[in-house]
A and B are shown apart, each in its own frame.
Chain A
Amino acid sequence: MRSRLPRSLVAFTALCFVFLHAPVLVLAVFSFNHARFSMRWTGFSLEWYQKLLHRSDILAALKVSLIVGTVSTLVSTVLGTLLALALARHRFRGRTTLEGLLYLPIVTPEIVMGISLLLLFATLGMGLGIPTIVVAHVAFSISFVAVVVRARLEGMDRALEEAALTLGADEMAVFRRVTLPLLWPGILAGALLAFTMSIDDFVITFFVSGPGSTTLPVLIYSMARRTIEPTINAVSTVIVVVTTVLIYFFDRLTRGRGQEEAAA
């Protein structure tokens, strides 16, 4: 039995979806506008996208973002997956405490994390650059990866591993041939999440990046504070499209788990 939803409620919900998505959509549409300053539509144009390819500062920032994103994703995925395996598969002293501590980076305001790392690096006399950004990104991604991978581990059917053990496989073979393949979508989802967060992060990166290590969001921020220019619309649209594709895959990977559970 499903009672029908009142029209007004559906209309209100539609309005909320417009509120959530219209600003970025309008921005994306106007990134194809020929006019430089006016909000009037003066014709379809790809010139702002062509300009992007000739902006050395944007290309340099993109390179930094990709390096930081790749390295920090690899490190945080490995460390987060190991933590998830320990938490889901082993009983040890301090387990509950560790679980609680794992959630702390998730609830700590980004700005506090940013300035705390800045103070640490300053106290240690470390110069700010790509390595400090990578360290910071790994620090905020580990918890998220661990939570995602752990959810996958908890949803896994242990009977398969037990069967492999019964059939004479040693523990290492079971891990490599049974556990890891089953866990793989979870690890990949965690990695996608870490990469997206790294590429998107502004607040923490702002405090731990140096003069030669501007990431794309930090560059966009300084551009957006100075002026409104169509190149920002174009580069923003590129970022939104890329992250939407990544999140679509993340969604499919994590939803796959739900379907298996539903089928079981």
Chain B
Amino acid sequence: MSRPRALLAGLNRRPRLVVASLLAPGTLWLVVFFFVPIAVVLAYSFMPRGVYGGVTGGTTLEHYRRFMDPLYLTVLRRTVVLAVACTGLCLLAGYPVAYVIARAGRWKNLLLFLIVMPLWTSFLVRTYAMIFLLRDTGFVNTVLLALGLVREPLTLLYTPGAVLAGLVYGYLPLMVLPIYVSLEKLDPTLLEAAEVLGARPAARFWRITVPLSMPGIVAGAMLVFIPALGAFLTPDLLGGAKQMMVGTLVQNQFGAARDWPFGSAASFVLMAVVLVAVLAYLRLRDRGSVEALA
């Protein structure tokens, strides 16, 4: 015990050494097992395909050119459309929920826990639960048949609707939390002032509450849009082969198709869309903070 203590005491006299020893292990791990692998993917995406899924030397743009094929552009378009639709639906559903939680008084903590809980429940288990509900002989159809509302089971699974429902189900909490935080911070005296000055409830909501919660809306949209773009489990389990998204395309290339360089190129197309979304978010956020100062 005394030796490491003496050693650490020695370190304390040299602050730069302390900082270096605090930083080195974690940074090194992230560099070797996060940044280097991403660089490897980038390199693969520009290399000709070899045998058994590997690559051979040289550089080529063929994988990115191949992605321009209408077949794959359809997949990309479907991915973006589903991610945008999911973000929109999450906003429509999430804003009222966040609004209610922010004004829930003594229920607030319980409701917040119920919003956070699904995020930490295995996403796989939750998606599987959706299959259990939606399949032809699943819970929803059994209930509908028993109530006599339908004569034959509805086809719910393996439809675009199932994928969209699965995405909203998965990411709704990510929209609610930031909106809740911004509504919570909202100064109620502003609303009172508006009321005193004669603003009707609708005007108070649209002209004070919504603009002031814009940072939460933008952050929530970002938090939902990015994982929805990269979704793999949801389209795979709830959409089947017909509802392929870029995530499932990438998985196929690394699985059955064994075309690693093409899968790498598809990954980078995905990363590029994510990057555009992040940059758009940062611009929106900065503009928002400038407006808030003005």
A-side interface residues toward B, CB under 8 Å? Answer: 1-2, 5, 9-10, 12-13, 16-17, 19-24, 26-27, 30, 37, 39-40, 78-80, 82-83, 85-86, 90, 92, 98, 101-102, 104-105, 107-113, 115-120, 122-123, 135-136, 138-139, 142-143, 146, 170-172, 196, 199-200, 202-203, 207, 217, 220-221, 224-225, 228, 232-233, 236, 239-240, 243-244, 246-248, 250-251, 255
Contacts and interface: CB of A to CB of B under 8 A. Distances in A.
Interface footprint category on B:
35 or more
A170 B254 contact: no
Contacts of A112: 38, 41, 230, 250, 267, 270-271
A15 to B, nearest CB: 9
B249 to A, nearest CB: 10
A115 B22 contact: no
A83 B19 CA distance: 9
Interface stretch (B70-78, B99-107, B284-292): B99-107
A247 B126 contact: no
A64 B37 CA distance: 24
Contact of B25 (A2, A79, A220): A79
Contacts of A233: 132
B149 interface: no
Contacts of A30: 132, 139
B167 interface: no
The 7 closest A-B pairs by CB, nearest first: A109-B230, A116-B37, A23-B129, A86-B22, A79-B26, A83-B26, A139-B33
A233 B126 CA distance: 11
A253 to B, nearest CB: 13
Given A1-B188, A10-B100, A247-B117, A90 B133 contact: no
Nearest to A221: B124
A1 B204 CA distance: 15
Contacts of A117: 33, 37
B260 interface: yes
Contact of A119 (B26, B35, B37): B37
A252 to B, nearest CB: 10
Contacts of B64: none
Nearest to B201: A3
> Among B29, B129, B278, which residue has the most Cβ atoms of chain A within 10 A?
B129
Given A85-B22, A86-B23, A251 B100 contact: no
A79 B193 CA distance: 50
Contacts of B250: 111-112, 115
B96 to A, nearest CB: 5
Nearest to A2: B103
B230 A83 contact: no
Contacts of B271: 108-109, 112
B139 A83 contact: no
A64 B250 CA distance: 26
A251 B113 contact: yes
A86 B21 CA distance: 9
11 contacts: A17-B97, A24-B129, A98-B27, A104-B34, A108-B34, A119-B260, A120-B36, A120-B37, A122-B54, A139-B34, A146-B26
A88 B30 CA distance: 19
A109 B264 contact: no
B229 interface: yes
Contacts, number: 233
B93 interface: yes
A238 to B, nearest CB: 10
Contacts of A109: 226-227, 229-230, 247, 270-271, 274
Interface in B140-184: 142, 169, 172-173
A23 B44 contact: no
Nearest to B125: A236
A20 B114 contact: yes
Contact of A224 (B38, B128, B192): B128
B40 interface: yes
A148 B237 CA distance: 32
Nearest to B24: A82
Nearest to A24: B129
Contacts of A120: 33, 36-37, 40
Nearest to A123: B40
B125 to A, nearest CB: 4
Contacts of B26: 79-80, 82-83, 142, 146
Given A26-B139, A200-B124, 14 more contacts: A17-B114, A20-B114, A24-B118, A24-B125, A27-B125, A85-B22, A98-B23, A111-B250, A111-B267, A120-B40, A172-B5, A207-B254, A239-B122, A243-B121
Contact of B172 (A16, A98, A232, A255): A16
B232 A26 contact: no
A247 B173 CA distance: 15
B120 interface: yes
Contact of B121 (A1, A138, A244): A244
Given A5-B100, A111-B247, A27 B27 contact: no
A236 B130 CA distance: 13
